[in-house]
Amino acid sequence: MTDVAAAAGVSQSTVSRILNRKPGAIPASRETRERVERAARELGYRPHPFARALHGAPTMLLGAVVRDITDPFFAEAIEALTIECSKRGYSVVLGHARTTADEALALAGVLEARQCDAIVLVGDFRGERRLVADLRQAPVPVVALWHGSERHDRPFPTVTVDSRAGIRAALTHLTALGHERIAYVGGALRYVILDREEAYREFLSADGVGVPAGYVRHVPNTIRGGALALAELRDLPSPPTAIVAATDVLAIGIINAALAQRIDVPADLSVVGFDDIALAAGTIPSLTTVHMPIEPMVAEGVRIAIGETDWDWAAGNDPPRVVFDPNLIVRDSTAPRR
């Protein structure tokens, strides 16, 4: 910048003023401006963001803490986050909190140095007590995306989805198709997903049917987990005619295993997923699933994080909790009971 000033024959502060001309600021003479702008262009001037940040300017860096980018759902979420951020001129710094031991790292890298203007938690971290505790006293805004419902206590603003409504939609769809023996497959450890299981239990109970023994399976959230669950369910004295999976990944595993065993999906077995990941539309049969409005949710999260909403971080108000509604996408993995 000093170079630009020298080249243009003006003072360095003039350059600063001209180059980031603020809306309502004092104008500069056209002639000087042109000279400065040309000099800047010729010298290939690039502002040095750190020097700006030193004055309290935003770093335009957003920290994202994700459990597992390898999970297609979270990959899509991060993709959406990156896009949303770049629209607003922000960049995304990737944190990582796969194991508890990594928590510290995620913090050290992303936030400890408070180089980020805000932090976005992607996924459910209620299990990571230390992470959440540290984040509570983070010097920057923290927003949680898909953080499970916290009944007693809400540490940060949260954007989430009404999982229960999604499960209800799935079950309503299946019962409308005539299914009565409907099983549930989910992961034991993921808290958000517990909501889904609860919704399943409630629905079946309300119907007066109740949950048949062995109809709730807990497996790892992988393709293989889905296959495992299917094997267990088929071993039951009275196997289900339909399965609701807590995630698409599980549902795809179930379908894959079913096809490999020559079980016809959907004729002999209906399967509903949850998340509507990109993969879900491409499988054969394509997956009936609960669509997760990833983009709007991420956009809302970013908006809160960078302070584009009413909610005032400074004031001691209760952090907002924005709940989106998922909707069922009916494709080819469900059919009337036969």
Partner DNA sequence: TTGTAAGCGTTATCAT
Partner DNA sequence: ATGATAACGCTTACAA
CB of 206 vs DNA, minimal distance in Å: 58
Among its own copies, DNA, none, partner that 216 touches (CB below 5 to 8 angstroms by kind)? none
Contact call for residue 51 and DNA (CB under 7 A): yes
Q: Which is nearer to DNA, 10 or 161 (CB)?
A: 10
Q: Which of 21, 38, 41, 48 binds DNA (CB under 7 A)?
A: 48
Phi/psi at 295 (nearest 5 deg)? Answer: -60, -55
Return d(Cα 285, Cα 331) in angstroms, integer: 8
Q: Which is nearer to its own copies, 111 or 304 (CB)?
A: 111
Return d(Cα 52, Cα 113) in angstroms, integer: 16
Among its own copies, DNA, none, partner that 149 touches (CB below 5 to 8 angstroms by kind)? none
Contact call for residue 281 and its own copies (CB under 8 A): yes
| Other residues' Cβ atoms within 10 Å of the Cβ of residue 177 | 17
Return d(Cα 224, Cα 250) in angstroms, integer: 8
Among DNA, its own copies, none, partner that 2 touches (CB below 5 to 8 angstroms by kind)? DNA
CA angle (101, 106, 112) in 5-degree steps: 120
Contact call for residue 256 and DNA (CB under 7 A): no
Q: Which is nearer to its own copies, 240 or 253 (CB)?
A: 253
Q: Which residues between 114 and 143 bind its own copies (CB under 8 A)?
A: 114-115
Contact call for residue 46 and DNA (CB under 7 A): yes
Task: Tell me which long-range contacts 43-48 makes (C-beta under 8 A, separation of at least 24).
Answer: 43/3, 43/4, 43/7, 45/1, 45/3, 45/4, 45/19, 47/1, 47/19, 47/20
**AA letter at 138:** A
Is the preceding peptide bond at 266 cis, omega within 30 degrees of 0?
A: yes
Phi/psi at 17 (nearest 5 deg)? Answer: -60, -45
What are the residues binding DNA (CB under 7 A)? Answer: 1-2, 9-14, 16-17, 19-20, 26-29, 31-33, 45-48, 51-52, 54-55, 57
What are the residues binding its own copies (CB under 8 A)? Answer: 46-51, 53-54, 59-61, 68-70, 72, 75-76, 78-79, 82-83, 85-86, 89-96, 102, 105-106, 108-110, 112-115, 222-224, 227, 253, 256-257, 259-260, 262, 278-279, 281-285
